[in-house]
Structure 1
Amino acid sequence: MYYRCYICHKPPRGFCWLDPNRFQSSENRRASFKRFCSKTCQDIHYQLHRKGVDVNRTDLEQKAAESVLAPLADYVMAVGMEKGLGSYSKDEIIGLVDTVLESYHCTLQELYKDEVPF
């Protein structure tokens, strides 16, 4: 099974969270176990959890997806609207991925700047 960071969906790197209130059964324990790619994402989850905010990954995905659309459109226009994705060179694909990831992570930092120091 392949896991992703609960906040930003990068590959996790050893940072985890196990809800101490859900130790009754192994099923609850497994459901409350979350993995993170960094201390930053772990801190975002902890701060929201401490405030009683239900951390819902789909809400974060939606906000991040909306933030990516404008920079992605700018990049595609710079490369050329007439080119299909299959016609992109390796460098253009890497640029596209970098644009999306940078926008995604900057948005997460901006959304949670008051809650977690970056």
Structure 2
Amino acid sequence: MKCWVCKRQARGYGHSDGRYTAGDARRYPMDWAFCSRRCQDIFHQMYGNWRDGRKGGRVMHISEMERTARQSCLKAFGQVAGDIGFTKPLGDYSEAEALAVIDAIVTRYSAAMVEHHEASKYPPLRGIKNPVSDPLADFDDDIPF
């Protein structure tokens, strides 16, 4: 029997399908055999993704920073869509128009992420309302030699 993942000779690693009871023959699929623990783990990860996909897919957990960056993309998308025409369905976009939309969204998302990281690059100091962008920028002036 061949490994389900890499097609090498299987060596006794198998899979039991927990959806079925112990006496059910479907619990032990014969073709789900593996050559190593590595291939077995790969299969289980793929199997978990496949089963979750049937239920609607995995939930993507995004941070507040990413949510804010996503929302800032709406204005960039609106500007490009306005240039193309709001009444034109997405399916009718030419390749150049679709790439313009993608470029606007990706560029704005990347810029928003960079803006956030630049703003939080250096922790704020107590007593300073506007933190400096680089606290060591004038370090050369402070060296006495």
Q: For this structure pair, what is the TM-score category when the shorter chain's length is used for normalisation? A: 0.3 to 0.5
TM-score normalised over the length of structure 2: 0.39
Q: Which has the larger radius of gyration?
A: 2
- Using CA pairs under 8 Å that are at least 6 residues apart, name the structure with larger relative contact order, 1 or 2: 1
TM-score by length of 1: 0.48
